[in-house]
Amino acid sequence: MPIHMTRRSLVAGGLLAAAAQPFAALASDAWPTKPVRFIVPFPPGGPVDTTARAASVKLSEIWKTPTVIDNRAGAGGVVGAQAAAREAPDGYTLFMGAIHHSVNPTLMGNLPYDIERDFAPISFAAMFPVFIVAHQSVPANTLKELIALARKPGSNLSYGSSGNGGGTHLAGELFNMEAGTKLQHVPYKGSAPAMNDLLGGQVQLMFSDAPTALPHIKSGRIKVLAVASRQRSAMLPDVPTAAEAGLPGYEAYSWAALFAPAKTPQAVLDKINADFNTAFRDPAVRQRLLDAGAEAAPGTQQEMRQFLRSELAKWAKVIKTAGITAG
């Protein structure tokens, strides 16, 4: 690149830079001029779908244009992610990703997309707390007592999960790593059958999502020892975090986040992020999420990018250390 520039080239460069600014502004000011589609890689009714629908209803009011939910379920979130990655990067197709998309690269490998290369993070959306719960017969009423019990020679404590390689399985294996325990994993085909066996005493523990655990915690049929997130949950504010209960550094929760196809104009990403944050500050939206077992937690694009990288590294370590395979 030449070191010296003529006055004419400087002026021309300045004019081009000045001209580019209005075009960037127009990109966001004119957008959207047609319906915006949200690809959700899971079936209707689940927490990620509920998060997308809560966002889309409010955003359609803000944008004054319809929003459409497009459920593309299959292969643990892979089908929907692949479809979203192939869409035009114009802001009219958005993708509601989830914890699965930080797990799948290590768990499955050879994916038809790259969650970092093929997507632009827009914002964290919602956190789904994981509660550490136990059958009433377990002789531990605090997390410290549970860890001490699990470390005893001959301990045969087991925990049920929604399936091999799922979020509740990974939460349990991360617990084993952080607490120095050897809880036995028992996979089920979904959270409901796992909870049924916890209620019946066939397994002693679960690292459970809120919708599955809350009714039984409130009825007293199971006991809750901690919530595995950084802060206490608004759903059960009296329940301590794992750090408060004696296991600092342990964090496990599911999440949903908003993405766009890579190369979506930055001005459009900025507008979506700002409007998304506005939508998720709305009390009605936040309450709808709480009712579904989710806690609204929007943020910046950079925060989401950093969070995704940390999740990819975190779950890769757990999967490799525990020898978890898909299935």
d(CA 127, CA 143): 22
Which CATH number is 162's domain given?
A: 3.40.190.10
Q: What is the mean pLDDT of residues 132-146?
A: 98
Q: What is the mean pLDDT of residues 194-199?
A: 98
Residues 213 and 155 in one domain: yes
Residue 109: predicted pLDDT:
86
Residue 4: predicted pLDDT:
35
- The model's confidence at residue 30, banded by pLDDT at 50, 70 and 90, is confident
Residue 22: predicted pLDDT:
45
> Is 86 part of a structural domain of the chain?
yes
Model confidence at 27: pLDDT above 80: no
Q: What is the mean pLDDT of residues 247-263?
A: 97
Residues 148 and 220 in one domain: yes
Instruction: Write the CB contacts of 10 (distance below 8 Å, at least 6 apart in sequence).
Output: none
Domain that holds residue 215: 128-227
Q: What is the mean pLDDT of residues 271-285?
A: 97
Residues 118 and 93 in one domain: yes
Model confidence at 24: pLDDT above 60: no
Domain C-terminal end among 227, 262, 297: 227
> Is 7 part of a structural domain of the chain?
no
Q: Which residue has the tokens 């020892």?
A: 225
Model confidence at 21: pLDDT above 70: no
Residues 152 and 93 in one domain: no
Domain C-terminal end among 227, 243, 266: 227
Lowest mean pLDDT among 19-23, 46-50, 92-96, 104-108: 19-23
Residues 161 and 178 in one domain: yes
Residues 120 and 163 in one domain: no
Domain C-terminal end among 191, 212, 227: 227
From 67, 60, 125, 68, select the one nearest 96 (Cα to Cα).
125
Q: What is the mean pLDDT of residues 76-88?
A: 97
Model confidence at 123: pLDDT above 60: yes
Residues 158 and 180 in one domain: yes
Model confidence at 234: pLDDT above 60: yes
Residue 28: predicted pLDDT:
56
> Is 232 part of a structural domain of the chain?
no
Give the chain's mean pLDDT. 92
> Is 192 part of a structural domain of the chain?
yes
Contact in structure between 96 and 52 (CB atoms under 8 Å)? yes
SS3 sequence of the chain: CCCCCCHHHHHHHHHHHHHHHHHHHHHHHCCCCCCEEEEECCCCCCHHHHHHHHHHHHHHHHHCCCEEEEECCCHHHHHHHHHHHCCCCCCCEEEEEECHHHHHHHHCCCCCCCCCCCEEEEEEEEEEEEEEEEECCCCCCCHHHHHHHHHCCCCCCEEEECCCCCHHHHHHHHHHHHHCCCCEEEECCCHHHHHHHHHHCCCCEEEEEHHHHHHHHHHCCEEEEEECCCCCCCCCCCCCECCCCCCCCCCCEEEEEEEEECCCCHHHHHHHHHHHHHHHCCHHHHHHHHHCCCEECCCCHHHHHHHHHHHHHHHHHHHHHHCCCCC
Q: What is the mean pLDDT of residues 258-267?
A: 98
Residues 121 and 136 in one domain: no
> Is 242 part of a structural domain of the chain?
no
Residue 207: predicted pLDDT:
98
Which CATH number is 118's domain given?
A: 3.40.190.150
Residues 116 and 158 in one domain: no
Residue 10: predicted pLDDT:
36
Residues 269 and 295 in one domain: yes
- The model's confidence at residue 3, banded by pLDDT at 50, 70 and 90, is very low
Model confidence at 185: pLDDT above 60: yes
> Is 8 part of a structural domain of the chain?
no
Residues 133 and 121 in one domain: no
Contact in structure between 144 and 134 (CB atoms under 8 Å)? no
Q: How many domains does the chain have?
A: 2
d(CA 283, CA 45): 21
Model confidence at 195: pLDDT above 70: yes
